[in-house]
Every structure is written in C-alpha cells, then in structure tokens.
Amino acid sequence: MSRKPKKGYYVKGQFVAEGSELDLELKRELKGDTEVSRTDLKRESTELQKLGEDLMHLRADLMVKLNLPEKLSDAIAAAKKITNFEGKRRQMQLIGKLMRQLDPELIEAAKRSLAEQYAPSIQDTLILHQSEQWRDRLIADDDALALWITQHPDNDSQQLRALVRQARKDAITPDAAAVSKGLAPRQGKAYRELFQLVRQTLQNTCSTPL
C-alpha cells in the first residue's frame, strides 16, 4: 500500500518532516527558546519510546490496522523475542528512534488503538451491572432465586441456594457511625462467590438486560 508523501520542507538541502523532532527543534530555535526545546524533546522522546514499548502488547488485529512502517513493525517483533536486558534496552532505543520518525497522525492512531484494546467493552460493562443487580436480588428475594433457576437450569441449584443462604447469614447492617463515615459493611466469602457465579453464567449465556 502506497503512503501519502510526508509534509515538510527543506533546510540546507535536508528534508524536515512536519511534526518531526527536527521540525520542533527548528521552530523553537526560531523563537529563541533552545533550552525549552531540549527539555521538551527529551520528554517527547521518552513518551514516544514508551508508546513503542506499549505497542509490543497490542493485539495482532489492531496492529495490522495501524499499518506501521516495516522497519518499526520488524523492530517491535524482534523486541518481543529478546530476553537479554542490555539487548532489550538497545532494541527499545531503536524503537524510540523509529517512533520519532512517524507522522503525528500515525502516532495518534497508535494511541487510539491502545485505548481501544484496554477499554472495557460495552457488553462487559453491561454484564457487570447485571451481575450486581442479580446478586442483590437473589439475596433479597426468594422469587428472584426461583426465577434465576428457571432461566438458568444448567446452574447447580443446590450450590446456588447454599451461597444465597450463607450470604444472607453473613449480611451485616452497618451501624449509624459507619454510615456517617460512608463505610460499607464488609461482605463475606459467599457474597463474593455468588457474584462470580452470576457473572460467569451471564457471560456464558450473554443474558439480556434485567
């Protein structure tokens, strides 16, 4: 796939890409701010090297969509295989150097890809909320327990009833002092295990909202 030509200009016969390290330094020198330039360049260099390190953990499908330059892709792939500390350090310096040559648009695309990978999905968030609601309903209402068993016959009903009974026994009403301090009562093991069982069931069945 052909790439768009980089935007930039020539200085003394050398091409300077817009947004590159050299471009930023030249612009700051024009403002007479060379000390700030060195400090900012060091910070930006560190950030880009860290971004390159993070890309080592990016999912394959997102990495393909980024369409990074071949040299950078190869450097990242090689870094994953290096176990020697010094060798890894030198490889990360190379990755940082290659990252500084990227167009600003591609750098932003890399940040968005990492954010997409680590952001919880809408379905995961929905299941989390459903699980909390069902857990509280099961503890509070026998009718909810009967409904759950009807909707999810694959669950071990005896285990479920035992967890609900124990969670009810463990339930402690916070005293007035705890409430005034915003402290919630400490929940027992059954309370947590009931939540895990409900969440796992919903994840397996992709249950519809309550």
Q: Which of 149, 135, 31, 51 is nearest to 101 (CA)?
A: 51
pTM of the model: 0.46
pLDDT in tens, 57-76: 999 999 999 999 999 999 99
Domains and CATH numbers, the chain: 8-118 (no CATH), 122-205 (1.10.60.30)
* Residues of the chain predicted below pLDDT 50: 1, 34, 176, 179, 207-210
Are 55 and 114 spatial neighbours (Cβ–Cβ below 8 Å)?
Answer: yes
What was the pLDDT predicted at 31? 61
Q: 103 burial class (0-12, 13-18, 19+ CB within 10 angstroms)?
A: middle
What was the pLDDT predicted at 209? 44
What was the pLDDT predicted at 208? 45
What was the pLDDT predicted at 179? 45
What was the pLDDT predicted at 45? 81
pLDDT in tens, 17-36: 877 777 777 776 676 554 55
The one-letter amino acid code at 113 reads S
Q: What's the rounded Cα separation, in Å, for the pair 97 and 79?
A: 14
Question: Sign of dihedral through CA atoms 124, 127, 133, 137?
Answer: negative
What was the pLDDT predicted at 28? 67
What was the pLDDT predicted at 56? 93
